[in-house]
Amino acid sequence: MTATLAAAGLRLGALEVESPVVLAPMAGITNAAYRRLCLDQMRAQGPEGLFVCEMITSRGLVEGDPTTRAMLAFDEAETTRSVQLYGTDPTCVGEATRILCEEYGVAHVDLNFGCPVPKVTRKGGGAALPWKRGLLGRILDRAVAAAAPYDVPVTMKTRKGIDEDHLTHLDAGRIAQESGVAAIALHGRTALQGYSGVADWDSIAELVAHVDIPVLGNGDIWEASDALAMVERTGAVGVVVGRGCLGRPWLFRDLAAAFAGQEVATLPRLGEVAAMLRRHAELLCRHMGEERGCKEMRKHVTWYLKGFSAGGPLRHALALTSTLAELDALLGELDPEEPFPTQILGAPRGRQGGPRKGVALPEGWLDEADGSHLADGALVEDAAETSGG
């Protein structure tokens, strides 16, 4: 399968994506409601990108875990179903891929090998797994073979490596290419960095030069201009956007415009931001019910209001709403004409933290870099693991 950038679009096997922009799966964020919100923003501009469901585990799906199955919810407006799958066992990943294609009608499966969370890497998963080249190859082979009868492309997302002394991205790219993976996305940080520091875009360019399959870049895309700069600097065919869109779903409208060579929209005033926040809450309530939807909305409030002058008591009250009526009353207290705070443009959003002292790994994990001795089932992930990478 191949992917090409043409007319600001992306082709992944049989799947054609109008804009080379991918929404990164984020736990507790990229549910059906948020994907619909971002999708509407892109559609208002024209070309449409790819919006990936929250990451689910292969074990949870295969074993019928209710939480995992519930996460596979899609909005009626989503015409392209895309899911990120996490797993450490080749047989389980293959079976989960088949289930996604056959039972859920997905058009794209992405495999996560980028999660830096200790509870994941400690079991050999996420960003730790590509160190075992043989195991990585077996997982990719099984997934691609399982998806092939349905003509569904399989992609993978990874990081530079475990740390600067144990880099894996070039070997991972080679193995992905040999396995028939349609494209590889690279987050330009190591697992040791977590989400701290600055993403190494040069590592993305290095991977582009190393493989024949398309590479998508991830890391530090805070504005539409960053996405264009990354593509120009690295040669990547597109971008994967994560934390930069938190509280800013209109970023996808701007990205669509930027890649289409059009002028990026004017920054929204507080009234427009409040309307977007309200729409987000409405969609959450539609998919989850009002009580749960309002609770889910609370964590987004800080991101939406970042940089605006809304006082502490109002922000606190907004983060405690339980009904849409309460939310409406509080939003009515905001100044709709307040301009967007340009001083926060380009500033990081979401989790950051500092670099870690070390990466949690299985005992002896770094002793050899093949993993061929690891039998299927030797590594077992938590069925309900929902971290991202």
Q: Which residues are catalytic?
A: 115
Beta-carbon contacts of 165 under 8 Å, excluding residues fewer than 6 positions away, are none
Long-range interactions of 119-123: CB distance < 8 A, separation 24+: 119/360, 119/382, 119/385, 119/387, 120/86, 120/381, 120/385, 120/387, 121/162, 121/191, 121/359, 121/360, 121/361, 122/360, 122/361, 122/362, 123/88, 123/362, 123/379, 123/380, 123/381, 123/382
Q: Is 310 annotated for ligand binding?
A: no
DSSP secondary structure, 17-52, as one string: ESSSEEEPP-TTTSSHHHHHHHHHHHHHHS---EEE
Q: Is 166 annotated for ligand binding?
A: no
Q: Is 242 annotated for ligand binding?
A: yes
Q: Which two tokens stand for residue 319?
A: 């983060």
What is the number of alpha carbons within 13 Å of residue 261 lying toward its C-beta?
A: 4
Question: Is residue 181 within 8 Å of 155, Cβ to Cβ?
Answer: yes
Q: Is 243 annotated for ligand binding?
A: yes
Q: Is 27 annotated for ligand binding?
A: yes
Q: Is 262 annotated for ligand binding?
A: no
Q: Is 55 annotated for ligand binding?
A: no
What is the number of alpha carbons within 13 Å of residue 195 lying toward its C-beta?
A: 15
Q: Which two tokens stand for residue 333?
A: 């207290």
Q: Is 133 annotated for ligand binding?
A: no
Q: Which two tokens stand for residue 261?
A: 């060579």
Give the separation between CA 381 and CA 111, rounded to whole angstroms: 14
List, as residue ranges, the binding site: 25-27, 84, 157, 187, 242-243
List, as residue ranges, the binding site for FMN: 25-27, 84, 157, 187, 242-243
